Amino acid sequence: MRWATVLLVAGLCGASLGQYNEEEDLAWLQYYMRQSRLNSYNYMPYYEDENAPYVYSYLPAPDGEAEGGPEAQQAPSRECPQECDCPPNFSAAMYCDTRNLRYLPFVPSRMKYVYFQNNQIAAVQEGAFDNATELEWLALHNNQITSEKMGKRVFAKLRNLERLYMNNNNLTKMPGPLPRSLRELHLSYNQISKVPSNALEGLENLTALYLSHNQIFEMGASLKGLKSLILADLSYNHLRKVPDGLPMALEQLYLEYNHINTIPDDYFRVSPKLLYVRMSHNSLTNQGLSTNTFNSSSILELDLSYNRLQKIPRVSTNLENLYLQGNQINEFSISSFCTVVDVMNYSRLQVLRLDGNEIKRNAVPPDAPLCLRRATIIEI
């Protein structure tokens, strides 16, 4: 086997490697993705206190008149707010994005997909969506919404809501209560400092949770009851310990750029489907890890770069990508990859990065080619 030191150029991608959506109308999805690419996440805080121009109270239809009949359809305010667009060929969608709005317009009852992103909305009044209880997608990202100006039960009646986008706002607390139907929760780029244990209670359908770029210092056991959770992004926070009780369905866990220094023994084994673990830029040391912390047979990619490790931790032979650059490792221990080295026992590792450590290139043991026979990139 020919061995060569190859510089790994490809960066790690924080995006989800798979989508877990039900079949949706592609027109709405394409519109949302197109807008996300066109608009950046920059925002200017807006704290001016102002009253909403709409009163969110609804009178029942008169007796004998069917709700939503021809006459009701002619009322322009209930058909579509003048600030927004409601395409006739997508009657359940309302586009109010990027219009310099400072308030939430009235939402007609037929709507399932509403887009308020890229505005200057600072408040979400109690009852704002009481008329539109069939909402499935609600996009409120890139606004100026604060926790103090959110109704306490503003989402309580949205029993069909699947996706809630509130990233890039000024939230300091977790919104709630949240509907049990929720499948994706986007809260990145806010100022949330704590996730109480009951903040995500009852969200058994949640598959993706995005809480990166906040100020979270404590998660507690808030993830424990999320039976369907596949992706948890908690990167760029102030966590000093890993969240308690990972869900069994979890496949992707992102904890990079925190202050974590220890991981309990068998922490990852409660999630037998876990594939990707990223914990770069933390404060991990070998003293804070047990012997088999990362020896989980399901993990395919493990990023421990830019920590304080002095030895290579033991990993499973099923691991394919291991990133350890930027640590303090001073020895190449083949036992970290193969407990037994022979023709039948070898590591599936393909990429190994050890550059930026204290280890020397001539420290590679002679049996390394036999153990790491599948490796195509080894950087020392």
The 10 Å Cβ neighbour count of residue 368 is 20
Task: Report the C-alpha gap between 193 and 378 in whole angstroms.
Answer: 39
Is there a contact between 220 and 242 (Cβ–Cβ < 8 Å)? no
Is there a contact between 188 and 167 (Cβ–Cβ < 8 Å)? yes
Q: Parallel, antiparallel, or unpaired for β 93-95 and 184-186?
A: unpaired
Longest dimension (CA), the chain: 89
Over residues 293-319, the pLDDT tens digits come to 999 999 999 999 999 999 999 999 999
Q: Which of 29-38, 305-314, 339-348, 359-368 has the lowest mean pLDDT?
A: 29-38
Q: The whole model's pTM is what?
A: 0.79
Q: What local confidence, expressed as pLDDT, does residue 161 receive?
A: 98
Q: Which amino acid is at 31?
A: Y
Radius of gyration, alpha carbons of the chain: 25
Cβ neighbourhood burial of 315 (10 Å; 0-12, 13-18, 19+): buried
The SS3 call for residue 182 is coil
Q: What local confidence, expressed as pLDDT, does residue 361 receive?
A: 77
Take residue 269 and report the two structure tokens written for it. 């084994």
What are the residue ranges of helices labelled H in the chain? 26-38, 70-73, 76-79, 368-371
Take residue 137 and report the two structure tokens written for it. 């997608």
**127 DSSP assignment:** T
Over residues 173-225, the pLDDT tens digits come to 999 899 999 999 999 999 999 999 899 999 999 999 999 999 999 998 999 99
Distances (CA, A) of 194 to 125, 219, 230: 23, 7, 21
More confident of the two residues 79 and 227: 227
Beta carbons within 8 Å of 80's beta carbon, 6+ residues apart: 86, 94, 108
When pLDDT is cut at 50, 70 and 90, the band that residue 78 belongs to is: low
Task: Report the C-alpha gap between 13 and 39 in whole angstroms.
Answer: 20
Task: Report the C-alpha gap between 332 and 154 in whole angstroms.
Answer: 56
Over residues 5-33, the pLDDT tens digits come to 433 333 333 333 333 444 444 444 444 44
Residue 114 pairs in a beta bridge with 94, 138
Q: How many residues does the chain have?
A: 380
Please state the rounded mean pLDDT for residues 247-276: 96
Phi (first) and psi of residue 38, to 5 degrees: -80, -25
Task: Report the C-alpha gap between 301 and 320 in whole angstroms.
Answer: 6
**Nearest CA-CA partner of 105 in 118, 95, 91:** 95
Is there a contact between 349 and 368 (Cβ–Cβ < 8 Å)? no
